[in-house]
Structure 1
Amino acid sequence: MILLLAGTTEARNLAGYLAAHDVACVASLAGVTRDPVAYPVETRVGGFGGADGFCAYLDAAGITAVIDATHPFATRITERTARICAARGVPYLRYERPMWLSRQGDTWHEAADVADLARVIPRGKRIFLATGRQSVGDMTHLEHSAIWARVIDAPDAPFPLPRGDWIVGRPPFSQADEQVLFTDLKPDWLVVKNAGGAAGRAKLDAARACGMSVAMIARPKGPDGITRREQLLDALEWALTL
């Protein structure tokens, strides 16, 4: 039985490939998003209760291999999972979609991390934040700017920064959708994490068309010495050879 650590579009697609090839698989979702899109395999929702809980689940569910297809910035999950699998001799694969690369006409500025945004973005600029709900509270160093943060589910708490608001929307978004939104809000900057993936590229293309600057937060390196794949069919091939 393969445990697929999921939550991304690519993880859901990979689950479909595994199901089509009759590979026994259970997908695991963190439970952050309400009403997630259904997976074509058995699915569990919620955390494991730390490292001990994760080990207990591996034993109870009879997990023989793990494919980690979580978000490229989910570093704590990846590091913990890779470490536990190595210690227990469980085959582990990290699926990581390729990073975005700039194209002609893009105005990108790389930020090493969230804190580095204060260096990259001039004071007082209007910012559209597409880095997820959990990162908004870390943006207090940008309080001098008006910030709009997009989230999938409407938050129960008020917007944590003095200027700006939540923008609620469920992907995927087309480039045309993104351009309409940017035209309405008139942000100067788009802030994104370099997560890669075709689904998220539309906002970058829309930013280029609207003449916006992009602050691109660099992807963390991740653990050394692990098996990685960047293409879904390569990840499927790995699973089929177990």
Structure 2
Amino acid sequence: MDIRKKCQPHLWLLTGTGEGHAFAKSLLKEGWKITVSVVSERASIPYEKLNLEKILIGALISEEDIRSVIFNARNNHGGFHCVIDLTHPFALKITSAISNVCKQLDQPFIRYERPKNKISNAFLIKKFSDLGNYNLKNKSILLALGVRSLREALLLLRDSGANVYARVLANPESIKKALSSSIIHTNFAVLNPSGSSNGKIEQALIRRWAIDGVICRQSGGANEMLWHRICSSIGIDLWLLERPCKYENINSIDSYDKLSEKLKSINML
């Protein structure tokens, strides 16, 4: 069956994870038309070689922003067959906003939720204050969880007597926020994890700073798996900031195969 002959063969993918590019590429092979949303010019680069209908660049700040994209699609090409949320597991506000708008507009919606990795020997914490349950005095701790949480984690770790270091993503916003925080400027490194997926740079940082433990988010992606592997091989501690609970009233899928089947079922309605 050629889905391009069906009504509304157009999908809107909101991406913020590494799976976004792979899903878009596979959906294109299946015959879908794709519009992709990314938060920055840098995030759009992997999609530029794909045969997409459109790349929308910039953060969707409000429900009105989301509603506007859906209405424009309906006015210009008959609308989206489905909106697919591939944003980060910790991006709580955007997922709730997308879900709400889609319900209001009777717009089919699918949320992709990464399966959780096995925790192995890592410590799971619900919030940063849980770090107070561990003796971190004079320990060198590396933060690998994004600059949005940097200030909060930094203050709590300093109160516990730890020496704090951070890995900061190579983009202007992250660097600016790191510089404006109270972290010592020689205690953070700027790098792009996607360019160092073998972990050699991360391991070099651990050796240079004599790191005793790493804190990252339970994101379920390649970055989390990388820290599991590195910490296990070197024999240092790993703390995972627990992923938020599943959203109420939002049915999610956890694989591309399930997404494909879900889209076909929508197609037959």
**TM exceeding 0.5:** yes
- Would you say how many aligned residue pairs link Structure 1 and Structure 2? 238
Mapping of 1:23-172 within 5 angstroms? 23-31=32-40, 34=42, 36-39=44-47, 40=50, 41=52, 42-61=54-73, 62-103=79-120, 106=121, 108-120=122-134, 122-139=136-153, 140-143=155-158, 144-153=161-170, 155-156=175-176, 158=179, 160-163=181-184, 165-172=187-194
Instruction: Report percent identity of matched pairs.
Output: 24
Q: Which amino acid aligns with 1:52?
A: E
The 8 Å contact of residues 75 and 222 in structure 1, kept in 2 or not, is answered as no
Q: What is the CA distance between 1:199 and its match in structure 2?
A: 4.9
Q: What is the CA distance between 1:110 and its match in structure 2?
A: 1.2
Paired with 2:135 and 2:24, the residues of 1 have a C-alpha distance of 39
Which of the pair has the greater relative contact order for Cα pairs under 8 Å at 6+ separation?
A: 1
- Which of 5, 10, 19 is 2:28 aligned to? 19
Which of the pair is proportionally richer in helix?
Answer: 2
Paired with 1:221 and 1:102, the residues of 2 have a C-alpha distance of 16
Q: Which amino acid aligns with 1:117?
A: L
TM-score, structure 1 length as denominator? 0.88
Radius of gyration: which is bigger?
2
Q: What is the CA distance between 1:10 and its match in structure 2?
A: 0.6
Runs of 4+ in 1 over 6 A off after TM superposition: none
TM-score, structure 2 length as denominator? 0.80
- Which of 192, 203, 211 is 2:227 aligned to? 203
Tell me, which stretches of 5 or more residues in structure 1 are unaligned?
none
Q: What is the CA distance between 1:120 and its match in structure 2?
A: 4.1
Change beyond 3 A, Cα 1:221–1:208: same
Paired with 1:234 and 1:199, the residues of 2 have a C-alpha distance of 23
The 8 Å contact of residues 79 and 222 in structure 1, kept in 2 or not, is answered as no
